[in-house]
């Protein structure tokens, strides 16, 4: 059976995994976020050691460039984390590992993980937090009817909804499992 890779990046750590879902994680590793070069080298070494994988999904802290046609697709753009602004993550992982890569925000990856393995797979559903204002919470939806997953508010794609989502089913693994789901959608 084929395996897929997932990377969830944050300002403090990167979670890497190889597998096919929550019941099939063949290898995992937590990597401290340090400098871009040092940090990117460690997931590359992880996938070289634990692979091969069919594709890798990345859910990244940002802001990020998710536009596939953009020359800076896969980049962390104007990140406030020192040293990380304008860092190429997606294209660099693809180049170094010679594998297809899907790239999205960490929030979207976590919502996709929840949708893929906890919620019904063939529906659009709301993902909300009890602390979200009712006017906002009523409008958020996870739409996974296309390739990947899009977080929508009133029909418009949103890129950051961390304050408005609760992902109880997968807990802390929602992001890396969502990254695996991104890879599977390629």
Q: Quick one: fold of 4-184?
A: Nucleotidyltransferase; domain 5 (3.30.420)
Give, as one character, the DSSP assignment of residue 179.
Answer: H
Q: What are the residue ranges spanned by the domains of the chain?
A: 4-184
This prediction's pTM: 0.78
pLDDT digits (tens, 9 = 90+) for 97-156: 999 999 998 888 888 887 787 765 444 444 433 333 333 333 344 444 433 444 443 444
Could you tell me the two tokens for 125? 């559903």
What are φ and ψ of residue 156, in 5° steps? -105, 135
CB contact at 8 A, 186 and 121: no
């Amino acid at each position: 059976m084929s395996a897929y890779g997932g990377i969830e990046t944050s300002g403090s750590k990167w979670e890497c995994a190889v597998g096919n879902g929550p019941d099939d994680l063949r290898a995992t590793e937590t990597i401290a976020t340090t400098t871009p070069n040092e940090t990117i080298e460690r997931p590359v070494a992880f996938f070289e050691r634990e692979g091969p994988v069919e594709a890798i999904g990345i859910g990244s802290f940002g802001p990020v460039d998710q536009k596939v046609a953009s020359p800076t697709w896969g980049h962390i753009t104007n990140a406030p984390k020192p040293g990380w602004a304008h860092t190429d993550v997606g294209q660099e992982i693809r180049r170094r590992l010679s594998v297809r890569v899907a790239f999205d925000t960490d929030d979207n990856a976590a919502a996709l993980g929840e949708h893929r393995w906890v919620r019904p797979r063939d529906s659009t559903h709301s993902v909300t937090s009890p602390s979200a204002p009712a006017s906002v919470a009523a409008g958020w939806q996870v739409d996974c009817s296309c390739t990947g997953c899009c977080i929508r508010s009133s029909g418009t794609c949103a890129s950051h909804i961390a304050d408005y989502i609760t992902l109880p089913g997968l807990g802390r693994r929602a992001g890396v499992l969502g990254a695996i789901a991104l890879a599977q959608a390629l």
